[in-house]
Structure 1
Amino acid sequence: MEKILFKEPIAYEKIPTRIFLDPKDASKSVAKEIADLIRSKASEGKMCVLGLATGSSPKTVYSELIRMHKEEGLSFKNVISFNLDEYYPMEQDALQSYWRFMREQLFDHVDIPKENYFIPFGDIPQSEIGEFCKSYEAKIDSLGGLDFQLLGIGGNGHIGFNEPGSLINSRTRLMMLDHSTRVAATMDFGGELIKVPKKAITLGVSKIMQAKRVVLLAWGERKSQMIADAVEGSVSEHNPSSYLQTHSNVLFVVDQAAASDLKRIKSPWLVEDVVWDSKMTKKAVCGLALELKKPVLKLTNKDYNDNGLSDLLASYGQAYEINIEVFNQLQHSITGWPGGKPNADDSKRPERANPDRKRVIIFSPHPDDDIISMGGTFQRLVDQGHEVHVAYQTSGNIAVSDDEALRFIDFVVDFNTQFGISNTEVKDIFENAKRFLQTKKDSELDTPEVRHVKGLIRKGEAKNTCRFVGIPIQNAHFLNMPFYETGKIQKAPLGPKDVEVIRDLIEEIKPHQIFAAGDLADPHGTHKVCLDAIMEAVKSLGDKDFMKECWVWLYRGAWAEWEIHEIEMAVPMSPDQVIQKRLGIFKHQSQKDGVVFQGSDAREFWQRAEERNNMTAELYNKLGLAEYEAMEAFVRWHH
C-alpha cells in the first residue's frame, strides 16, 4: 500500500502535488503510471513517446521499470524516448555523460531498441548545434509530441537545463549553466568545479509544456523552497518550474522533506483542522514565536488569534497555559549529559540515568560524520565515562582527491626506499596506483589499488580522531559496507551483507545507546542507505532482551539541522568545546580546504558544523531559553 501523506487538491496550491512518506513509494507510483501508459499504447498498436530526465531523482523510477521488465514482462519495444539535456562539451563515454547515465540506469537493462532512444549530442561542433536542436524538436513533432515528460527540479528551479531567466516559449538550445547548477554538479566531476562544463544542450520550456502529461519529482529539503515557490507562488522566469502552473495535466510527486515549505506541511492549521497534540502544539508555538520575534513566554492571546491559531488558544483557554507547556518541553530537551546523568531524577530529562555507564555505538556513514555532526556529544560521552564505540560504515574512498592519493603514495614509496624496506607486493600496489593516477582519464573509474589507497587515508584520519577524543583504537570499527565499494558515485543497492555487518556489531556490543545519521530525505545518498541498514538490523534484533534497553538517537549531517520543534535532545557546548570539536574535524586533512564532493556549499565542514550548532543555540535563546555558545541536536527513533 502506498504511503501517501496527501494527494487531494489543497488550498493555496496551484499545481497538483502528491506527498509521499518514502521516495521509494513515490518512485514506484510514477513507474507504474509510465508502465501503464506503455502497455496501453502497445495494446492500441501505437508507439509510446517518453521524455526522460537524468540526475538522482529519477533513478529509483528507472530501477522499478527495470524490475517490471524483468519480473512482470513489461516490454519497451514500443517506446521511443527523448532525453531532456546533455552537458556541452561531453563525450558519450565520459563518466558524467547522460548517454552513459541512461544506458547504465535504464536502456542496457530493458528491451528498448537502440535506434529508439535519443539524447542530445554533447560532442558535435558548436556550429552544428542550432540545426541539431531544430531537428531534435522536429523528430518529437513527427511522432505526435511527447506522451509523458518526466522532470526533476534544480535547486534554483530549473527544469531540464532551462535556468532562471528562461522564457516559457524558449526552444531547444545551447544554454549557459547557472553557477549554482555547476557547483551542485561538482560531485559528478570529482569535486572540481573547473571540470564542470559551463554549457548544456537542453530541451526548451515550450517543448516540455507541449507534453501531454508532465510529472515532476523532488526529494529532499534542498528542493523544498523551489517546490513551495512553484506550487504556491506566482509564475515567474526566476523559477522556471513555476511555468507548470499553466499546464493542464501536471503532477508534482515529492517526499515529505521536499514538501516541508508547503503551507499544508509547514503550517497545516492554515489549511485544515488539525489535532492539537503536544508535537503539533510545539511546532505551532515555536513557529509563531520565531515569526513574531518573541520569546515563547511573551506570546499573547492576540498573537494566537491574529495568526490563525485561535483553535489552539480555545483548546487551552489562555496563552500562558500554552506557553508554559511548550517552554517546559524545550527546557527538558536540554542536557549536558547525553548518556544520562547518574543518580539524578530522569523523569524530565531526555536520557535515562541508569545504567550510569552505558555502552554506546556511534554509527558514522563516512569516516568523519561522527566528529562533524556530533563531535561535542562524542567528547561528552567519553569524558563522562561511557564505553564508546565508533562504527565507520563506509571507507569514504571516493571523497579523496587524486592529488591527495598521490601524495600519500609518494610518502609510502619514499619511506620504504629510505629505510630499505623491500616488500615487492606492497610496492607493486602503490606503484600501480601511482601510474594509473598519473594517466587517469575523466571516463575512467579508480582501480581497486587506488580505492584501497584512498580508503587507507580516510581510515588513518578516523583513527587519529579517535585518539584525539580519547577512545581506544580497538573501539573503532571499520565496517566497509559492500554497497559502497563500487568505485563509482552510484552505489549498489543495500544488500543482506550490508545489514549483516551492522547486526553483528550491535549483537557483539549490546549497546544501551545507538547514535546514527538521520538524513532521511535523500534515497540515493550514502547517509540514507547507511541508516536503512541500521534500521533493518535493529528491527531484526527486536526480540533480543538487550535491544529493549537500547535507545536510538538520530543526528543530522553537516548541511542542515533538525527543525527546532523536532529536537528531543539538545547538548550544549561551551566556547572551549566548540574549539575542541573544530580541532577534531581538522584531523580529517584530506577533507579540508578543497574537499571533494563539497556540493553547493563553499564552506569547509568545520565551518558548516559550527554555524549550524551556533544557529541551534541561537534559536533556543530566541525562544527564551538560556544562551549557549552552540548546541548539537538529536531526535529519538522508536524502534
Structure 2
Amino acid sequence: MEKRFESKVEQAFYELSGMQEMTAQIPYVTVDNFPKLGLMTSLRFLEWAEQNPNGVISLPTGKTPEYFIKYTQFLLENWENEKGIEIRSQYGLGDMAKPDLSGLQFVQIDEFYPIDPRQHNSFYNYVMKYYIEGFGLKKENALLINSEEIPLVDNKSFLEVFPDYNIDLSLRYREATSEVEKMQQDSIFMIDNWCTQYEQKIREKGGIGFFLGGIGPDGHIAFNTRGSDHYSTTRLTKTNFETQAVAAGDLGGIEVSRNRLVITIGLDTITHDKDAVSIIFAAGEAKADIVKGSLESKPDAVYPASVLQRQKNSRFYLTTGAACKLTDSVNQYYKEGEWTQTKTEKAVIDLCQKLNKYGHHLTLEDLKADPYTSQIPNLSEDTVQLVIDAIQNKLEKGMKADNDEVIYHTGPHHDDIMLGIMPYTNRQMRSASNEIHFSVLTSGFTAVTNGFIIGVLKECQEFIAKGQVQMLEYPDFFEAGYDKKWDKDVSHFLNSVAERNENGKRRGLCHRVIRSIVGIWKVQDKFHLNKVIASVIGELESSYDGGKNSPEVQKMKGMVREFEEELVWGHFGVPVNNVHHLRLGFYKGDIFTELPEKNRDMLPVLEEFRKYKPTTISLAMDPEGSGPDTHYKVLQAIAGAVKEWGEEEDLSKLRIIGYRNVWFKYHPADADYIVPVSLNSLDVLENSFTECYMSQVNASFPSYEYDGKFNELTQKVWVQQLKQIQLLLGKNFFYENNHPLVRATHGLVYMKEMTADEFVTMAKDLEKAVEENPF
C-alpha cells in the first residue's frame, strides 16, 4: 500500500485498515474497535510529544478519551517492558526514545461556566486528574479555565453575582434595569476580557501544536456548536440542545445543562497554527452521519470540524462504524469481497431513498445508472422484486409467534428492552407456553436525579406521619417483612394506575422505597427509619447536581429503577421473580466505567443462563459503543457468558436476537426480522413508559435527537423505519394486505438473529480487543 502519512503511527494503522481510496476533504484512518481507537490516538500523541518536547497541547475531556488516557499511561510506565516494546514495534515506534511530557504546555479546551472547579464533573477537575497528574504535566505550564479565578465585579464570587448559575447574555446588548443586572452586566464584560486574555496567551505560545478532540452529535468540536464562526476565538457562549443533552449526564440533568453557559476556545484558536496536528476521533455508527458531513463538505458553518481543512496535518481517527457512511467506505463495501444478498438489498433500498421512488417504479435504467445497484450480479427487471420478496419474508418472520420457548431478554439499562423491542415482547407474552425473563444488567442509578429522590423521600415522610404505611406496624417488618411481598408493591401500584389514583401510585412507590431503605441501611425501627430518611435528604440537598452519591444512595436510586422495570413488565403479568437485576460491578458511576471482569461481571450472567436455560437470548447489539459505553461493556459480558455456556451445553438451537434502539439503528438489509408495530403497541409503549418510568418522564437525560421522553423518540424511529420499507413495498402493501397485523402496521422494529456460534465469532473480536488491553 502506498505511503500516505508522514507519521509512522498513522501509516501503520492505515496499512492495517485495508483502505483502498481516500477522497474526503481531510485525511482519516479507521480501526476495528473502540479500544484500538484509543491506542492509535495515544501512540500518535506520544510520537508527536517526542518530536515536540516543549510543544503546546490541548486534550479532550469526557468518556471518549478513556482508552487514549489508559494507553498513554500504560505505555509511559512500560516503555521498555516486553508489552510496551511489543506495542511500539507493531505500530512503527520500536526505535523511538521515551518522550518526556513534563515540558509540554497544556491548554484547556473548554469548561462549563460557572462551576466549582473542585466538583468531579468540572472539566478543570478532569484535566487536573487525568492530564496534569496522570501524564505528569506541570501545572505552571498550563492554561486552565478555573471559574473561581476569573475576576468579577468587586472581586465577588460567581455565586454572589450569579446565585442561580444563570447568566443572561442579552446584557451584552441591552441596558441593565437594576443594580443586580448592572453588577452582572459588568461581570459578563470582565469574563469577556478574561477570554480575550486567554486567547492572547495561546497566541503568544504560537498556538496549539497538538489538538485532540471528540465530535458532538451536531458536529461540535470543543463547544463550537453547529453555526459557529470559523474565525471564532475563546469566548463565553450558549450551547444548543444537542450539546445540552450530551452534557446532561455531566451536570445532573438537562434542567441544569440547558441553563449553563460554557467557555470554549474557538475554531480559529484550534487552527491558528497551520502546521499543527489536529485530530478528531469518533466511535460508533451513531456518529456516521456527522462524520460524513464533516469530512465530505467544503468549509461550512453547519459542520464546525470542516474548519480543519485549513491544516495540512488535520486528521480524523474513526472506528469502522463511525466511517461507514463515508463515500469511500460505501464504495469499498460494494467493491470488496463476494457480492451478497445483503448488498443487493442495501443498494436497492438506498436507491429508493436517493430517488424518492417506490420500489415498483424503479426501472432497469435506474438500476444501471446507480454506482451500487449497477454492480448487482445478473441485474434484470426482476432484481427489485427479489428484494421486495426478501423484505416481505423478513416481515413474515417478524410476525411468527413464539411458543414453548424460554426467552431471556437483556438490557444494559432499564428501559432498553422496552425501547428496543417491546412490540416483539408483547406478542411473546400472549402465549402462556413461553417462560419469559427480563434482565437488566446494570443498576442505572445515574439516570435518577437528586431532585427526584428528594421529592420521593419527602413523600415517604408525609405518608409515615399520616400512618399510611401500615406495613411498618407488622411485628417482623424490620427483621424480615421488608424483604417480602415485592409483588404486592407492583400490584398496588398498577391497581392505582387502573383507578387513575395518583395518590395511590405515589404510596406504592414510597412503599418500595421504604423497603429498599430498610434493607440498605439496616433500619431497626420507625424512629431509625425517619432518621435515615432525613439524613439522606440532607445529604442530597447539600450535594451539587451531577455529584457522585454515596454507595448507599446509589443503590437506593438503582432500586427505584428496578421497581420501574418490574412495573413495566407487570403490565403483562410478569412476576417480580422473572425480572432480574444483575447490577454488574463494572458500573460504578465513575467518568470511566471499569472494564468487565470475568468473575465479577461475566459469571453472574453465566449463572443466569445455567439456571434458566434459555432457548432465546436478546441483547442490545452495540459492538462499537455507538450508544453509552455501558451497552458495549454489557455486550462483552454476555458474549463471554455465552461462550462459556457453550463449552458446557449444546447451544446449536439457541437463538441470539440483537436489537438496537434510539442510540443507533439497523439498516433493513442487515436485519433478519422486521416486526410490525400497531397503534395499540404504540399506546402501550406511551402509557407504560409514562406511568412506570417515573424518574424518566421529565426527560432529565434525553437523547440529543429529541427534546422529550425516550418513548416518543422510539416511536419516531419506528415510524421512520416503516416509511423506509413503505418506499420499497408501496403503502398499499400495508393497507390492502390480507393479514390484519400488516394492515394495522404504523411502525416497524428491526432485529438481527444469530446462532450462538455466529454470536461468539462476532464477539471474539470484542473479546480480543479486551484481552489486548494491557491494563
Same fold (TM over 0.5): yes
Corresponding position of 1:326: 387
Q: Which has the larger displacement, 468-477 or 579-588?
A: 579-588
> Per-residue displacement from partner, 1:71-100 (whole Å, max 9, x unpaired)?
337653233221212222222113431111
Corresponding position of 1:216: 280
Q: Which has the larger displacement, 521-530 or 145-154?
A: 521-530
**Equivalent position amino acid for 1:506 in 2:** F
Task: State whether residues 6 and 19 of structure 1, in contact with CA within 8 Å, keep that contact through their aligned partners in structure 2.
Answer: yes
Task: State whether residues 153 and 217 of structure 1, in contact with CA within 8 Å, keep that contact through their aligned partners in structure 2.
Answer: yes
Q: 1:605 aligns with which of 710, 730, 755?
A: 710
1:99 aligns with 2:124: yes
Question: Structure 1: any 5+ residue segments left out of the alignment?
Answer: 343-355
1:17 aligns with 2:28: yes
Q: 2:105 aligns with which of 80, 101, 105?
A: 80
Question: Structure 2: any 5+ residue segments left out of the alignment?
Answer: 1-11, 81-97, 152-187, 474-524, 735-744, 760-775
Task: State whether residues 2 and 25 of structure 1, in contact with CA within 8 Å, keep that contact through their aligned partners in structure 2.
Answer: no
> Per-residue displacement from partner, 1:35-60 (whole Å, max 9, x unpaired)?
2233344xxxx424322122332232
**Equivalent position amino acid for 2:296 in 1:** E
1:491 aligns with 2:578: no
Cα drift, residue 30 of structure 1: 0.9
Task: State whether residues 408 and 616 of structure 2, in contact with CA within 8 Å, keep that contact through their aligned partners in structure 1.
Answer: yes
Corresponding position of 2:406: 359
> Per-residue displacement from partner, 1:555-600 (whole Å, max 9, x unpaired)?
1123443112211111223332332333332342324431221132
> Per-residue displacement from partner, 1:534-555 (whole Å, max 9, x unpaired)?
1222223332324332221111
**Equivalent position amino acid for 1:217 in 2:** F
Task: State whether residues 89 and 197 of structure 1, in contact with CA within 8 Å, keep that contact through their aligned partners in structure 2.
Answer: no
Are residues 199 and 387 of structure 1, via their aligned partners in 2, closer, same or farther at CA, if it must alter by over 3 Å?
Answer: same
Task: State whether residues 513 and 550 of structure 1, in contact with CA within 8 Å, keep that contact through their aligned partners in structure 2.
Answer: yes
Q: 1:303 aligns with which of 357, 366, 388?
A: 366
Task: State whether residues 186 and 599 of structure 1, in contact with CA within 8 Å, keep that contact through their aligned partners in structure 2.
Answer: no
Are residues 413 and 3 of structure 1, via their aligned partners in 2, closer, same or farther at CA, if it must alter by over 3 Å?
Answer: farther
SS of the aligned residue for 2:107 comes to strand
Corresponding position of 1:412: 460
SS of the aligned residue for 2:748 comes to strand
Cα drift, residue 8 of structure 1: 4.6
Corresponding position of 1:622: 727
1:395 aligns with 2:498: no
Are residues 514 and 273 of structure 1, via their aligned partners in 2, closer, same or farther at CA, if it must alter by over 3 Å?
Answer: closer
Are residues 443 and 493 of structure 1, via their aligned partners in 2, closer, same or farther at CA, if it must alter by over 3 Å?
Answer: same
Are residues 203 and 575 of structure 1, via their aligned partners in 2, closer, same or farther at CA, if it must alter by over 3 Å?
Answer: closer
SS of the aligned residue for 2:345 comes to helix
Counterparts of 1:440-459 in structure 2, within 5 Å, are 440-442=543-545, 444-459=547-562
Corresponding position of 1:471: 574
Q: 2:634 aligns with which of 530, 540, 543?
A: 530
Task: State whether residues 77 and 112 of structure 1, in contact with CA within 8 Å, keep that contact through their aligned partners in structure 2.
Answer: yes
Percent of paired sites with the same residue = 21
SS of the aligned residue for 2:211 comes to strand
> Per-residue displacement from partner, 1:230-269 (whole Å, max 9, x unpaired)?
2111112332211112211111011233223312334557
> Per-residue displacement from partner, 1:345-393 (whole Å, max 9, x unpaired)?
xxxxxxxxxxx51211100222222222211111211212311111111
Distance 2:456 2:448 in 1: 11
Distance 2:447 2:438 in 1: 20
Are residues 70 and 413 of structure 1, via their aligned partners in 2, closer, same or farther at CA, if it must alter by over 3 Å?
Answer: farther
Q: Which has the larger displacement, 413-422 or 215-224?
A: 413-422
SS of the aligned residue for 2:385 comes to helix
Are residues 193 and 472 of structure 1, via their aligned partners in 2, closer, same or farther at CA, if it must alter by over 3 Å?
Answer: closer
Corresponding position of 2:655: 551
Q: 1:174 aligns with which of 230, 236, 252?
A: 236
- The TM-score, its normalising length taken from structure 2, stands at 0.74
Distance 2:677 2:199 in 1: 58
Q: Tell me the number of residue pairs that the alignment of Structure 1 and Structure 2 aligns.
A: 617
Are residues 317 and 257 of structure 1, via their aligned partners in 2, closer, same or farther at CA, if it must alter by over 3 Å?
Answer: closer
**Equivalent position amino acid for 1:327 in 2:** I
Q: 2:680 aligns with which of 576, 581, 597?
A: 576
**Equivalent position amino acid for 1:333 in 2:** K
Distance 1:233 1:305 in 2: 27
Are residues 194 and 442 of structure 1, via their aligned partners in 2, closer, same or farther at CA, if it must alter by over 3 Å?
Answer: closer
Are residues 175 and 4 of structure 1, via their aligned partners in 2, closer, same or farther at CA, if it must alter by over 3 Å?
Answer: farther
Q: Which has the larger radius of gyration?
A: 2
Distance 1:575 1:131 in 2: 56
Distance 2:244 2:446 in 1: 19
SS of the aligned residue for 1:214 comes to strand
Distance 2:594 2:379 in 1: 55
- The TM-score, its normalising length taken from structure 1, stands at 0.88
1:47 aligns with 2:108: no
Corresponding position of 1:207: 269
Cα drift, residue 137 of structure 1: 4.3
Cα drift, residue 17 of structure 1: 1.6
Corresponding position of 1:634: 751
Cα drift, residue 454 of structure 1: 1.6
Cα drift, residue 484 of structure 1: 1.6
Distance 1:214 1:392 in 2: 40
Task: State whether residues 221 and 260 of structure 1, in contact with CA within 8 Å, keep that contact through their aligned partners in structure 2.
Answer: yes
Corresponding position of 1:373: 420
Cα drift, residue 179 of structure 1: 4.2
Cα drift, residue 9 of structure 1: 7.1
Distance 1:469 1:443 in 2: 35
Corresponding position of 1:35: 46
SS of the aligned residue for 1:361 comes to strand
Are residues 442 and 593 of structure 1, via their aligned partners in 2, closer, same or farther at CA, if it must alter by over 3 Å?
Answer: closer
